[in-house]
Homo-oligomer: A and B are copies of this chain.
Amino acid sequence: MIVLRREIGDVLRDARQRQGRTLREVSSAARVSLGYLSEVERGQKEASSELLASICEALDVPLSLVLREVSDKIAVAEGLHVPDTIPADVLAGMYSRAAASREDLTPVG
């Protein structure tokens, strides 16, 4: 069975590890306890919307990108074809650009 919190946890842990950061560093930046972040990453605790936003901010990763990755993984698990899944290298570039230009972002429209 697909459990959303596990998929979210996997994506958050991957994002943190891609940055070479420790649980301690990210939990401190996100102002959540290390134990809480660890449980979220392992899919053992549901992250509230507010704390998930804090964790994404601490990781400097847009929430939308985390959810997009989660959606793509779940689509595969659901047996649905995902015609435009973002390739891993493109995704990595998007994360970097998002982080680099985060200060400059202005709302669309």
Please list the residues of chain A having a beta carbon within 8 angstroms of any beta carbon in chain B. Answer: 1-6, 46, 48-50, 52-53, 62-65, 67-68, 70-72, 74-82, 84, 98, 105-109
Contacts and interface: CB of A to CB of B under 8 A. Distances in A.
What 8 pairs across the A-B complex have the smallest Cβ distances?
A: A64-B75, A67-B71, A4-B49, A79-B105, A64-B74, A68-B71, A5-B49, A79-B107
19 contacts: A2-B53, A3-B50, A3-B53, A4-B49, A4-B53, A4-B63, A5-B49, A62-B74, A62-B75, A62-B80, A64-B72, A64-B74, A64-B77, A64-B80, A67-B70, A68-B68, A77-B107, A78-B105, A84-B84
A13 to B, nearest CB: 16
A63 B48 contact: no
B64 A71 contact: yes
Contacts of A81: 108
